[in-house]
Amino acid sequence: MTKLTAEEFNDIVRDELRWAHDMGMRLEHIDAGSAVMRLPYHDDSTRPGGTISGPHMMMLADACMYAVVLGLIGKVKLAVTTSFNINFLRRPAMTDLVAEGSIIKLGKRLAVLEVSVLTGSDRELVAHATGTYSIPPLPVDSES
């Protein structure tokens, strides 16, 4: 069972990640250990050469990792990226991008994740990312 709903995550995006919200990024689905996000196509997403820019794909992949982590640990906003690697596999079509993320390993202090970035129109794999998130320690209960 997930500890955060798609609606709750989208509220975080709207209220605290304005740049992602302004780009139209939205979490479509979340389960314990996986998430699916969409970044709508926009002319501002392109780079010279007529392709979607790498930073836009990276932004989507990292945000999807954040959703997967929060779905597992709850609304711990200070969970942060500590490492990120992406392989660009093919030139994406001028269409929405969809990120499908999943957990590889969840520990007490670190989460290791992977994300496949696909074109929204034909579901072609255009990038693959892996990353690690640092999970802050839980507050010590003063009554313990």
In tens, the pLDDT along 69-98 reads: 999 999 998 999 999 999 999 999 899 999
Is position 117 within any domain? yes
Tokens for 99, please give them. Answer: 């990120």
Q: How many domains does the chain divide into? A: 1
> What local confidence, expressed as pLDDT, does residue 142 receive?
43
Q: What is the greatest pairwise CA distance in the chain? A: 60
Residue 18 is part of a domain; what is its CATH number? 3.10.129.10
Contacts of 141 (CB under 8 A, 6+ apart): none
> What local confidence, expressed as pLDDT, does residue 1 receive?
86
Burial bucket for residue 105 (CB in 10 Å: 0-12, 13-18, 19+): exposed
Is position 143 within any domain? no
CA–CA distances in Å: residue 61 to residues 20, 55, 96, 138, 139: 12, 10, 13, 26, 29
* pLDDT at residue 144 is higher than 60: no
* pLDDT at residue 117 is higher than 50: yes
Tokens for 76, please give them. Answer: 């711990």
Is position 48 within any domain? yes
Is position 105 within any domain? yes
Is position 85 within any domain? yes
Is position 141 within any domain? no
Q: Which domain, by its residues, includes 122?
A: 6-134
Separation CA 12–CA 17 (nearest Å) = 7
* pLDDT at residue 140 is higher than 80: no
> What local confidence, expressed as pLDDT, does residue 141 receive?
60
* pLDDT at residue 52 is higher than 80: yes
* Residues 81, 50 contacting (CB under 8 angstroms): no
> What local confidence, expressed as pLDDT, does residue 110 receive?
98
Is position 1 within any domain? no
Is position 46 within any domain? yes
> What local confidence, expressed as pLDDT, does residue 49 receive?
85
Backbone angles phi, psi at 64, to 5 degrees: -65, -40
- Give per-residue pLDDT as tens, 8-40: 999 999 999 999 999 999 999 999 999 999 999
Q: What share of the chain is helix, strand, coil (3-state, %, to 5)?
A: 25, 40, 35
